[in-house]
Structure 1
Amino acid sequence: MSDSQPITQAIPVTWRSRFSPKPGLARLRESWIAIAQIVLAATAAFLLAHLVLGHEAPMLAATVSISSLGLARDARPGRVLETVIGMLTGILISEALRLVVGSGWWQLAVTLAVTMLVARFLSASPQFAIAAAIQAAIAMTLPLGPVPFARLADGAFGGVMAIAVTALLPRNPVTAVLRDARAFFAGFDAAAARLVSALRRGDRLRAERGLEKARALQAPLDAWRTSLESGRAISRISPFLRGRRAELERHARILQAMDLAMRNLRVVGRRIVYVTDDGRPLPVPAEAMGEVARAATLVAASIDDISQEPIAREALLSIARRLDPAAMLPGAGLGEQALVSAMRPLVVDLLVATGLPPGEARAAIPRI
């Protein structure tokens, strides 16, 4: 019987590892501004409705503020405004029907049906209809207000405060954008590194795994796009984010280029799967792809440090000038030359991400 150690062994799991506070603390760190926005908007709306309108318990002023802001990463003013309009629509329909048919269980059913039908007609967003229905249900079940449509005024106070807080106490968009951009580039680097390793070893399995990683980049790219669009929208109305607009526009240019680069990385990945089918190492394409991957890390560094852009650009220009399949791989088969050809659009996209105009980026590639 062998005395060698087993390949696998049990790893003890303690209660500390099961109930780690780190994820919760990370959520708090990311959400504290959103929480401050909600608390301030809801409290201010409640007080204004109470003091200005004289309403004893203007609950809808608070609920509209809370629901329209939320904790979601997408805090675009347009989204907040759309949610506010949806909730005011629900309150308006509920108050109008209550004057006609009164309140009760069947009146609640009629109110919800009418509200959701009208909301679906007005907006394609499912959230719009749900927001309207929730506020309609609350308005229908609360005691009668002092005057007709008083609760509509409460909701309007809540909506105004939500939009005002979005502009005057904005969530820091750059923090979210940087976090999501880093996550995307980490995935891009991992996919490219796996594809380079596959070429060096002639390993089809590694190539397939690299292609899988490249295909999985869509989710982090979408998250990056959502946080960026939210940040750009907030910066247009917030006086405190005026200085961030140029930085966010630069991020938008990088994201657009990296969206195309991601798609071309998948094309390259499919080529690598094909050429590694025979198990033969391909050192020349591997070196070229390795240079592209290293240049992509410089593009990633430029997200935080704009001074890295010209460095990344020069590195990519050096690669681009040599991407002639016939010159790089004289006498090689069509599969290898097609692989080098597939790298050309990828390098062009990365050059555009560094700020080079698309025409100049394309001109840097040798004609074939």
Structure 2
Amino acid sequence: MTDHVDPATAPVPTGWRHRVDPRPGLDRVRDSAPAILQIVIAATAAFAFAHYVLGHPAPLLAATVTVSSLGLVRDARPRRVLETVVGMIVGILIAELIVLAAGVGWWQLAITLAVTLVVARFLSAQPAFAIAAAIQSAIVMVIPASVPFIRLIDGIIGGIAALLVTALVPRRPLRAATREGVALLAAFDGAVATLVQALRRGDRVRAERGLEKARALQPLVDEWRVSLESGRAIARISPFLRRERFELERHERVRAHLDLASRNLRVIARRVVYLCDDRQSRPVAADLLSELAAGARLIGESLADISFEPPAREAVRAVAARLDPAALTGGRTGSDHNLLGAMRPLAVDLMTAAGMPAAEARAALPRV
């Protein structure tokens, strides 16, 4: 996993080297390379088929429908691609009908856009659906054609090409899902590390920073969820991704339990903030939380190599076996007792994320 750097102590890049640094751009190109390949292949194939096989003189919409429906977005599920294609076909059909009935002109363009947007908004709750339909209808109105409905055929060809390339030239969703899972676990590790430091020092400011980091985990969880939903949908139709289906399902299991773990970490973080008001060091709680983080790091390693799951389970189980708040606090109740008690569901979530059955994970905790 990637080493965590505390934003409070990280170096701040300055100067012209930072402003002209090509690395962010190169990273974007690398991440989008599969999508770029998909778009190039699909658009070229759709254009070539419409032009050379069907004899269409300028099959612009065969290419534009393909490019717009695939896009560079993370969510490349076949259903999303199909919805976008349908929206654009609706826009083309409406425009073709108005051109046939009323011709081409500025007021015809206004009517076409109005009708397309109304119909598209009625058909779908997604704003992108209506915008895609409107763009294609505007192209039909602005660029004339000698044969009625030839552009509708071009649009259908582009849509078919987009759907075919989604299955036959997949974007390797497991790679993207693994990258986003590792990013989540790195951020999780950073949040825990900050809370551990706060507990060791009795530092409320650092505890509040840890709470902020814990709250920032949810967008990363959601991004991972979108990637996995997209990847699993593609794997169901692609003959080339059958080997990745199991791994994508395993990642979804890890993600679901890490979502719960992130929520429990926020509960722990709020209690750490409250406890640090007295500026007292709490080494026992800090050590336990640090050991749970070590188990979470092994879970991060397991995303790329499943052989890390057993040691991850055992690492967290070893901590869970000691999570008896009454024994750790000498029988006293109070805020320290509640903090240690909040670590129990976190340990269960981490063990289940590492593949342990939920009943066995709960049984690993001491009875209280």
Match of 1:3 in 2: none
CA shift in 2, pair 1:280/1:14, >3 Å: closer
Query: Structure 2 CA distance, aligned partners of 1:132 and 1:59?
Result: 15
The structural deviation recorded for 1:205 is 1.1
Query: Structure 2 CA distance, aligned partners of 1:71 and 1:187?
Result: 25
The structural deviation recorded for 1:367 is 2.3
Query: Structure 1 CA distance, aligned partners of 2:15 and 2:280?
Result: 46
The within-5 A match list for 1:2-21 is 13-21=14-22
Structure 2 unpaired stretches of 5+: 1-11
- 2:271 corresponds to 1:279: no
Q: Is the 8 A contact 1:145 1:151 kept in 2?
A: no
SS of residue paired to 2:224? helix
Query: Structure 2 CA distance, aligned partners of 1:117 and 1:191?
Result: 47
Q: For residues 203-247 of structure 1, give each alpha carbon's deviation from its aligned partner in whole angstroms, at most 9, with x where no partner exists.
A: 111111101000011121122111111111111111111111001
The structural deviation recorded for 1:284 is 1.4
The structural deviation recorded for 1:14 is 4.5
CA shift in 2, pair 1:110/1:306, >3 Å: same
Return the TM-score normalized by structure 2: 0.94
Query: Structure 2 CA distance, aligned partners of 1:189 and 1:337?
Result: 23
Match of 2:192 in 1: 192
The within-5 A match list for 1:125-144 is 125-144=126-145
Match of 1:97 in 2: 98
How many residues matched? 357
Q: For residues 313-359 of structure 1, give each alpha carbon's deviation from its aligned partner in whole angstroms, at most 9, with x where no partner exists.
A: 11111111211110111144410000011111111100110111112
Q: For residues 24-80 of structure 1, give each alpha carbon's deviation from its aligned partner in whole angstroms, at most 9, with x where no partner exists.
A: 221221122211211111111111112332211011101001111111122111111
Q: For residues 54-107 of structure 1, give each alpha carbon's deviation from its aligned partner in whole angstroms, at most 9, with x where no partner exists.
A: 211011101001111111122111111111000000001111111122111111
Q: For residues 278-303 of structure 1, give each alpha carbon's deviation from its aligned partner in whole angstroms, at most 9, with x where no partner exists.
A: 11111111111111111111111111
- 2:264 corresponds to 1:264: yes
Q: Tell me the percent identity.
A: 62
Query: Structure 2 CA distance, aligned partners of 1:167 and 1:26?
Result: 25
- 2:359 corresponds to 1:352: no
The within-5 A match list for 1:290-301 is 290-301=290-301
Query: Structure 1 CA distance, aligned partners of 2:14 and 2:183?
Result: 28
Structure 2: which amino acid aligns with 1:289? Answer: L
The within-5 A match list for 1:193-342 is 193-342=193-342
**Greater displacement, 207-216 / 14-23:** 14-23
Match of 1:28 in 2: 29
Query: Structure 2 CA distance, aligned partners of 1:288 and 1:15?
Result: 45
Match of 1:109 in 2: 110
The structural deviation recorded for 1:196 is 0.8
Match of 1:38 in 2: 39
Query: Structure 2 CA distance, aligned partners of 1:16 and 1:324?
Result: 53
Structure 1: which amino acid aligns with 2:307? Answer: S
Match of 1:5 in 2: none
CA shift in 2, pair 1:165/1:267, >3 Å: same
- 2:78 corresponds to 1:77: yes
CA shift in 2, pair 1:301/1:53, >3 Å: same
Structure 1 unpaired stretches of 5+: 1-10
SS of residue paired to 1:239? coil
CA shift in 2, pair 1:176/1:53, >3 Å: same
SS of residue paired to 1:82? helix
Query: Structure 1 CA distance, aligned partners of 2:36 and 2:211?
Result: 40
Match of 1:166 in 2: 166
Query: Structure 1 CA distance, aligned partners of 2:301 and 2:47?
Result: 46
Query: Structure 2 CA distance, aligned partners of 1:366 and 1:110?
Result: 71
Query: Structure 2 CA distance, aligned partners of 1:341 and 1:165?
Result: 51
- 2:360 corresponds to 1:367: no
Match of 1:87 in 2: 88
Match of 1:68 in 2: 69
Query: Structure 1 CA distance, aligned partners of 2:56 and 2:318?
Result: 70
Return the TM-score normalized by structure 1: 0.94
Q: CA RMSD in A?
A: 1.4
SS of residue paired to 2:278? coil
Query: Structure 2 CA distance, aligned partners of 1:340 and 1:33?
Result: 46
Structure 2: which amino acid aligns with 1:360? Answer: E
The structural deviation recorded for 1:12 is 9.7
SS of residue paired to 2:125? coil
Query: Structure 2 CA distance, aligned partners of 1:13 and 1:192?
Result: 29
Query: Structure 2 CA distance, aligned partners of 1:92 and 1:144?
Result: 14
The structural deviation recorded for 1:13 is 4.8
**Greater displacement, 19-28 / 160-169:** 19-28
Q: Is the 8 A contact 2:326 2:333 kept in 1?
A: no
